[in-house]
Structure 1
């Protein structure tokens, strides 16, 4: 149980770091974005591949998490491209969509935790 809680807290932390870097970039902070824009190379993506799927892949929410994680990266890339194209207002407004996707990821992690502790 302790291992499970540690792994899920680690996943949440890695997810928040990703979100913070994208938001910082959109707000104009010179933030290195590699490798965070690649869903397979970011810390959370590595966690999903190395721990999430092997340990929790039998849970449908884990399968959905993999898909939603890829979607949030696609959306983050969209926001970064808006910022690079000097469409600052559009990128900032688009952060609402990033938050919605991020909240979905947190909810899925909570579902996974609930399934494993039931």
Structure 2
């Protein structure tokens, strides 16, 4: 059962907020794949934790509204790790090691699974 404090936050963060976060995450995964397959797109949202749409959601929506929850702090860490993996893959690609970079997409998928699980846990806690 949610505490009174968590119920109050429920009024400020909606199911739509979480759906938007999930969509932003899917778009991130699409962008990293596109980059590693040679698409000419902006790399900043892929390598920067704060320039990507999910990062903006974390820092502009989640942390200000429900940042006291330990799951939100964990989400921030997992998100940061996701970008570290993406930066490493991008560096491999730039060094001409496209095959190794593409093999590393499994790490992105593994991290993504954890990130989506955290989003679900947070949503369940505040709803």
The alignment's TM-score, normalised by the length of structure 1, stands at: 0.92
Q: Does 1:82 align with 2:81?
A: no
Query: In the alignment, which residue of structure 1 is the partner of 2:22?
Result: 12
Query: In the alignment, which residue of structure 2 is the partner of 1:47?
Result: 57
Q: Distance in 2 between matches of 1:20 and 1:31?
A: 11
Instruction: Tell me the CA shift for residue 58 of structure 1.
Output: 2.0
- Can you list the C-alpha shifts for 1:59-118, whole angstroms capped at 9, x where unaligned? 21111000111111011000001111111111111000011111111000000011112x
Instruction: Tell me the CA shift for residue 35 of structure 1.
Output: 3.5
Unpaired runs of 5+ in structure 2? Answer: 1-9
CA RMSD of aligned residues (A): 1.4
Of the candidates 71, 80, 88, which is equivalent to residue 61 of structure 1? 71
The alignment's TM-score, normalised by the length of structure 2, stands at: 0.86
Query: In the alignment, which residue of structure 1 is the partner of 2:3?
Result: none
Q: How many residues align?
A: 117
Instruction: Tell me the CA shift for residue 36 of structure 1.
Output: 3.2
